[in-house]
Amino acid sequence: MHDPAVVDGLLAKHAAATDPVLKNKILTALARLYTREAAYDGSWWWGTKPDTRGPYYKPIRWGKSADIEKRFRDVWAAAATDQKAFLTYLANKHRMNLEGIGEVEKTGGKKEKTIGEISIEDIMLALDKLKGDPAKGREIMKTQACAACHSIAENDPKRGPDLNNIGATLDREAIAEAILKPDAGIAPSWVDVTTKDGTTLQGTLAEKSETQIIIRNIAGIPTTLKPADVKDIQTSASTIMGPHLMDALTMNQFADVISYLHSLK
Ligand code: HEC
């Protein structure tokens, strides 16, 4: 459908047609072709959650949108009132966002968007500009479920990788990515241990010395092994941290959290 030749053909037909009914039919077809669905790249699906047309639809302009827009504006400039009403109807129905012809959807809106509604790329760009307030971030962290798996204060029970020193090893971007895409990079301390008798354990490497190896599972329960019994210790291939934990925060709150976590060193 979204073939440039189809659009060129319709534009030529529209220019040549004299019957107003036919002309409007062609405009309807052009309005439908104005946006196309973006290829799904995995980064934005939750950004369209409030959209009633389904989770995988993201209308974007494509190569021929500008030509279609120009035709709409030319027709608009010469149109009588009822024809203008028709163009407005088409522009709104197909969400063309044509300033001056139909409604323009506000991208910011009044309500501040939440992390779950912003693509990871945009979050990273925004994070670059927002300093964030560590004191506020500290308060926000108290309302999050992170402590179920992580020690944040020095004397929290030890479970998953410690966050109380996270700013020393990860920069702001890496901390944000660890939260938004937990399985994109696995913390080096989160390991799979294979013993010589073939057992595998997943957990945080709490100690590795000449005399003992200690693995804490996510419940904080330690297993102590003798180095002689251990065949292999490797960064785990998988995490158990879910990706949408901070989706309900606003961008500013998220920046506060990142600044707080980054200050822990
Ligand atoms: C269900 C348990 C669980 C919860 C809840 C959880 N995490 Fe994690 N998290 C893990 C595990 C396991 C790892 C190690 C594997 C990995 O890198 O994903 C990890 C890794 C991380 C890392 C990277 C650590 C490093 O050393 O590289 C960060 C940062 C992090 N989590 C932050 C958070 C924050 C912030 C929250 C709260 C919004 C949170 N986590 C909630 C289990 C959890």
160 Cβ below 6 A of ligand 1: yes
- Find all residues with CB under 8 Å of 233, minimum gap 6, and list them: 191, 192, 193, 194, 205, 208, 213
Encoding tokens for residue 135? Answer: 């004191």
User: Does the CB atom of residue 167 touch ligand 1 within 6 A?
Assistant: no
Mean pLDDT, residues 46-74 taken together: 72
* 205 has pLDDT over 60: yes
Q: Report CA(174)–ligand 1 centroid distance (Å).
A: 12
How far apart are alpha carbons 188 and 236 in whole angstroms?
8
* Distance in angstroms (rounded) separating the CA atoms of residues 214 and 226: 9
Q: Work out the mean pLDDT of the chain and round it to a whole number.
A: 88
Q: Return d(Cα 154, Cα 134) in angstroms, integer.
A: 17
Establish whether residue 190 lines the binding site of ligand 1, counting it when its CB lies within 6 angstroms of any ligand atom. Answer: yes
Q: How confident is the model at residue 52 (pLDDT cuts 50, 70, 90)?
A: very low
Between 148 and 177, name the one with better pLDDT. 177
| 149 Cα to the center of ligand 1, angstroms | 7
Q: Can you give the pLDDT at residue 60?
A: 82
Work out the burial of residue 49: count CB atoms within 10 Å of its CB; fewer than 13 is exposed, 13-18 middle, 19 or more buried.
exposed
Q: Does ligand 1 lie within 6 Å of residue 254's CB atom?
A: no
Does pLDDT of 253 surpass 70?
yes
- Residue 49 scores a pLDDT above 80: no
For residue 24, the model assigns a pLDDT of 95
Give 152-157 contacts, CB < 8 A, sequence gap 24+: 152/264, 157/220
**Mean pLDDT across 178-202:** 94
Position 107 scores a pLDDT of 56
**Token duo for residue 64:** 């021929």
Q: Provide the pLDDT for residue 196.
A: 96
54 in the Ramachandran plot: left (φ > 0), alpha (ψ -120 to 50) or beta? left
Residue 50 confidence (pLDDT) above 50: no
Is the pLDDT assigned to residue 44 strictly greater than 60?
A: no
Query: Quick check: 84 pLDDT over 70?
Result: yes
- Say if residue 19 is exposed, middle or buried (CB neighbours under 10 Å; 0-12, 13-18, 19+): exposed
- Ligand 1 mean position to 29 CA, how many Å? 49
Average pLDDT over residues 52-75: 80
* Radius of gyration of the CA atoms of the chain, in A: 27
**Which of 23-27, 40-44, 156-160 shows the highest mean pLDDT?**
23-27
Digit-coded pLDDT (tens) for 85-115 = 999 999 998 989 898 998 887 654 456 789 9
Å from CA of 58 to ligand 1 middle: 30
pLDDT band of 46, cuts 50, 70, 90: very low
202 lines ligand 1 (CB under 6 A): no
Ligand 1 contact via 26 beta carbon (within 6 Å): no
Q: Is 184 in the pocket of ligand 1 (CB under 6 A)?
A: no
| Pair 192, 234: CB distance under 8 Å | yes
- Residues of the chain with pLDDT > 70, as a percent, come to 89
Q: Specify the pLDDT at position 38.
A: 65
Q: Which residue type does 63 have?
A: G
Position in ligand 1 atom list of the atom nearest CA 246:
38
Ligand 1 centre to CA of 172 (Å) is 14
